[in-house]
Chains A and B, each alone.
Chain A
Amino acid sequence: MKREKPQSFNTVPIKERLTIPRQDMPEQDALLRSTNFLEVNLGFTPEQAVIEAQRCIECKNPTCMEGCPVNIKIPDFIQLICNKDFMGAAEKIKEDNSLPAVCGRVCPQETQCEQVCVVGKRFEPVAIGRLERFVADYAMLHGNGSAKTIEKPKPSGQKVAIVGSGPAGLAVASDLIKEGHDITVFEALHEFGGVLVYGIPEFRLPKAILREEVANLEAKGVKFIKNFIVGRTMTIQELMTDEGYDAVFLGLGAGLPRFMNIPGENLNGVYSANEFLTRSNLMRGYEFPEWDTPLYRAKHAIIVGGGNTAMDAVRTAKRLGADEASIVYRRSEEEMPARNEEIHHAKEEGVQFLNLVNPIEFIGDEQGNVVMAKCLRMKLGEPDESGRRRPIPMEGSEFTMDVDMVVIAVGNGSNPLIAQTTPEIETNKWGNIVADDDGRTSMEGVFAGGDIVSGGATVILAMGAGRKSAAAISEYLKEKVGSVT
């Protein structure tokens, strides 16, 4: 990785840096926030950001950058914060990441950049995620991306269609618009952002932030079309032959919720996490009847699963007024895929954790409403192919719980739409699109990345896949021009 060491603006002597404590991010009081949908984390103050930035010891080999799936120039932006050049810091991040305000909020930094931070070997790592969030918010507040400051590149004359406006699609749009291509993002729903809109609650990622990020891309010239389902409203083939798109990127995400295939799963009150969160986040069910989409308000809700989605769902159920909202997870807390911060926040808000428990049946009343969950206790065996210890049912441990809402958050399969309408594109046995490391699919000029290729993953990994595809698309378009002339 070739990169010049950034100019140091840190005035604190090295030894003293290690004595500075990691700065806590102010957050809404737990009792209060469990009753509202406002953002939980409130972000660093400028003073805190500078102090936190001063904790960086400016390693010769910045391992943090390698820990980031899109290789943000972390030491560079941290030094700019030390110099109080917050706008400069934001620009530096944006060279590699078009959605810093989003990533600063939802990236699992503790397993990426911060996990490999050298300071973190003996002390707490530099709070890179919180710093990213701070500069992104600062830049937003101080009018970044206003159209007049943007220099538009010379048009290339080539058109790219991006299918899906989630993290992968937005990353591709952001990289390719810089090269002067004519970019259109197609979205099936009525708001842009994909999983960032329907999947992540307002209290973790306010929609206003996302709208601002989309508006920035629009100001740079990216066109956005909503209510358009590629595969149905128009096929990929038609986009290329009739509408003249030279390349297509598929960032469809992981659709189709997975269920457990146990009795009673179709009872009323049993939701997939996708449905529950979509009703709440995208359709604002939590503001029913002011907004029209209904959503159950449970007395006792259980959420089955241990990922970030499960945490989002359980905290939503709590905010909707559940007396008891519990996570039911078949392994122990140690194996939970959710971020520590989310688990911690959930606990603070009064969420209960029933670990080493797995439902085997849901029981309904005469109207078909779920009233009870039958569960088994589990113990952990040897590690399985995921590297986590395998849950094994304990004989005779069956017990029941009274519940009036269940949310199944055990992951997603892939949406069958593209396979149904575009047989040219190869998919694997799980229905995911087969693509190489750079996102090339079996159909010429068509690239894919994010969850539709990898299966359910994180925002930043989808963006990383998007950036790789953008580079490959760019290369492909150059060759295409070359072959024409």
Chain B
Amino acid sequence: MYKILKAKFIAPNVKSFIIEAPLIAKKRQAGQFVMLRVHDKGERIPITIADSDIKAGWINIIVQGLGKTSAHLNTLEAGDHLQDLVGPLGLPTHIENWGTLVCISGGVGTAEALPIAAAGKAAGNRVISIIGARNKDLIIAEAQMAELVDEVRISTDDGSAGRHGLVTDVLQDIMDEGIKPDMIVAIGPLPMMAAVSNQTKEIGIPTMVSLNAIMVDGTGMCGACRATVGGKTVFVCVDGPEFDGHQVDFKELGMRQKMYKKQEAESHKCFLEKQMKKLKTEQAEEVSS
């Protein structure tokens, strides 16, 4: 069992966990992930490691409650335990001194971009961060990012913070200002990574994306996480998770991500019903006592 040391919501439906895992903390590098199970009948899900502390022996993960497993995970508090936790998995991000590195992130992807931005900065790059979100409340880790990089720019779909628009608009602004990025890293929802890759392919800026495929074992054994990159099948868990965005078949990956949509909805509904029942019993108990 793996103890949760701290847990707090950092945006609506987005929770940050500090989990005791000294061996993983010691080993992990930017871009790597863990596989975890919340309880003994649970799914194995991959989550990128956002941060770690070797001395204190913890890792930090940021979880958006989307399906059953992540929603359940987000009900856990400090002092609770995860059933299983294994890692670090995947290849570490390849970092070098490219010159100007633009880190584009959306949603919980921003937390995952932090270690990459930090490593990029440490390698001598000028690092610009673009953070995108639907609205102001959904922007996470902006302050942490600001400490690491040279400049942070924000875009929101509704204009409630930063530039009214998409991350691709901000990237266009940057280039219009005469800044030529040498390398782009995009981490976030698939449509965002696809849009960025499309935009940069035309102008020939190398772009790395971090793919979030469905996984089961996470160690190369099952082949659930396959994607097509450059016309070849790759396993995201052992060949990635990072790939050349210009080579990724986003359409196929998008369809694969929806493979269990129906089952996930069913599973999530069961979970919510159980939660409601639990809540009602608790309320009833409170009333009776």
Contact yes or no, B260 A233, CB < 8 A: no
Contact yes or no, B83 A368, CB < 8 A: no
CA distance A291 to B41 in the complex (A): 5
The chain A residue with its CB closest to the CB of B253 is A266
Contact yes or no, A292 B216, CB < 8 A: no
The chain B residue with its CB closest to the CB of A268 is B259
The chain A residue with its CB closest to the CB of B83 is A190
CA distance A291 to B267 in the complex (A): 9
Whether B88 is near chain A, meaning CB under 8 Å from some CB there, is: yes
Contact yes or no, A416 B238, CB < 8 A: yes
CA distance A284 to B40 in the complex (A): 11
Contact yes or no, A232 B87, CB < 8 A: yes
Whether B221 is near chain A, meaning CB under 8 Å from some CB there, is: yes
CA distance A333 to B81 in the complex (A): 51
Name the B residues within 8 Å of A292 (CB-CB). 41-43, 68-69, 267
Report the minimal beta-carbon distance from B152 to chain A, rounded to whole angstroms: 32
Contact yes or no, A417 B238, CB < 8 A: yes
Partner-contacting stretch, out of B51-59, B133-141, B222-230: B222-230
Interface of A, helix, strand, loop or mixed by DSSP: loop
- The residue that A367 contacts in the complex, of B23, B255, B267, with Cβ under 8 A, is B255
CA distance A48 to B59 in the complex (A): 58
Report the minimal beta-carbon distance from A309 to chain B, rounded to whole angstroms: 13
Contacting residues of chain B (73-109) with chain A, CB-CB under 8 angstroms: 83-89, 91
The chain B residue with its CB closest to the CB of A238 is B27
Partner-contacting stretch, out of A66-74, A119-127, A275-283, A468-476: A275-283
Produce 1/0 per residue, B143-163, CB < 8 A to A: 000000000000000000000
Whether A257 is near chain B, meaning CB under 8 Å from some CB there, is: yes
Name the B residues within 8 Å of A189 (CB-CB). 217
Interface centre among B220, B252, B259 (most CB of A within 10 A): B220
Name the A residues within 8 Å of B255 (CB-CB). 268, 367-368
The chain A residue with its CB closest to the CB of B262 is A294
Contacting residues of chain B (25-54) with chain A, CB-CB under 8 angstroms: 27, 37, 41-44
CA distance A467 to B264 in the complex (A): 44
CA distance A274 to B267 in the complex (A): 23
Contact yes or no, B238 A234, CB < 8 A: no
Contact yes or no, A274 B84, CB < 8 A: no
- The residue that B220 contacts in the complex, of A190, A255, A290, A291, with Cβ under 8 A, is A255
Contact yes or no, A294 B252, CB < 8 A: no
Contact yes or no, B256 A368, CB < 8 A: yes
CA distance A213 to B238 in the complex (A): 31
Contact yes or no, A278 B41, CB < 8 A: no
CA distance A189 to B219 in the complex (A): 9
Contact yes or no, A229 B41, CB < 8 A: no
Interface centre among B220, B223, B227, B259 (most CB of A within 10 A): B223
Name the B residues within 8 Å of A290 (CB-CB). 41
CA distance A271 to B221 in the complex (A): 12
Contact yes or no, A255 B43, CB < 8 A: no
Name the A residues within 8 Å of B226 (CB-CB). 266
Contacting residues of chain B (187-245) with chain A, CB-CB under 8 angstroms: 216-217, 219-224, 226-228, 233, 235, 238
Contact yes or no, B216 A293, CB < 8 A: yes
Contacting residues of chain A (256-280) with chain B, CB-CB under 8 angstroms: 256-257, 259, 261, 265-266, 268-269, 271-272, 274-275, 278-279
Name the B residues within 8 Å of A255 (CB-CB). 219-221
Whether A211 is near chain B, meaning CB under 8 Å from some CB there, is: no
Report the minimal beta-carbon distance from A176 to chain B, rounded to whole angstroms: 24
Contact yes or no, A272 B222, CB < 8 A: yes
Interface of B, helix, strand, loop or mixed by DSSP: mixed
CA distance A32 to B239 in the complex (A): 43
Name the B residues within 8 Å of A288 (CB-CB). 263, 267
Report the minimal beta-carbon distance from B3 to chain A, rounded to whole angstroms: 14
Asked, given contacts A233-B23, A266-B256, A294-B267, whether A274 binds B223 with beta carbons under 8 Å apart, the answer is: yes
What is the size category of the interface that chain B forms with chain A? 35 or more
Contact yes or no, B233 A229, CB < 8 A: no
Contact yes or no, B86 A266, CB < 8 A: no
CA distance A193 to B222 in the complex (A): 16
The chain A residue with its CB closest to the CB of B270 is A289
Interface centre among A189, A261, A284, A290 (most CB of B within 10 A): A189
Contact yes or no, A284 B27, CB < 8 A: no
CA distance A439 to B264 in the complex (A): 45
CA distance A257 to B223 in the complex (A): 6
Contact yes or no, A233 B27, CB < 8 A: yes
Contact yes or no, B263 A275, CB < 8 A: no
Name the B residues within 8 Å of A261 (CB-CB). 233
Report the minimal beta-carbon distance from A255 to chain B, rounded to whole angstroms: 5
- The residue that B221 contacts in the complex, of A234, A278, A284, with Cβ under 8 A, is A278
CA distance A416 to B235 in the complex (A): 11
Report the minimal beta-carbon distance from A408 to chain B, rounded to whole angstroms: 9
CA distance A399 to B91 in the complex (A): 42
Whether B266 is near chain A, meaning CB under 8 Å from some CB there, is: yes
Whether A188 is near chain B, meaning CB under 8 Å from some CB there, is: yes
Contacting residues of chain A (176-200) with chain B, CB-CB under 8 angstroms: 188-190, 198
Whether A5 is near chain B, meaning CB under 8 Å from some CB there, is: no
Produce 1/0 per residue, A234-267, CB < 8 A to B: 1000000000000000000001110101000110
Whether A415 is near chain B, meaning CB under 8 Å from some CB there, is: yes
Whether A138 is near chain B, meaning CB under 8 Å from some CB there, is: no
Contact yes or no, A256 B221, CB < 8 A: yes
Name the B residues within 8 Å of A417 (CB-CB). 219-220, 238
Contact yes or no, A226 B84, CB < 8 A: yes
Contact yes or no, A259 B233, CB < 8 A: yes
Interface centre among B24, B37, B222, B259 (most CB of A within 10 A): B222
Name the B residues within 8 Å of A275 (CB-CB). 216, 222-224
CA distance A255 to B238 in the complex (A): 11
Contact yes or no, A229 B264, CB < 8 A: no
Contact yes or no, B223 A284, CB < 8 A: no
- The residue that A190 contacts in the complex, of B68, B84, B260, with Cβ under 8 A, is B84
Contact yes or no, B221 A289, CB < 8 A: no
- 7 A-B pairs with the lowest CB-CB distances in the bound complex, closest first: A368-B255, A294-B263, A275-B222, A272-B223, A227-B86, A257-B223, A292-B43
B residues contacting A by CB (< 8 A) are 23-24, 27, 37, 41-44, 68-69, 83-89, 91, 216-217, 219-224, 226-228, 233, 235, 238, 252, 255-256, 258-260, 263-264, 266-267, 270
19 contacts between A and B (CB under 8 A): A188-B217, A228-B23, A229-B87, A234-B27, A259-B223, A265-B233, A266-B226, A266-B227, A274-B222, A274-B223, A278-B221, A284-B41, A289-B266, A292-B267, A294-B263, A368-B252, A368-B256, A415-B219, A417-B220
Q: What 8 new A-B contacts, CB under 8 Å, besides A188-B217, A415-B219?
A: A228-B23, A233-B86, A233-B88, A256-B235, A275-B222, A283-B43, A289-B270, A368-B252
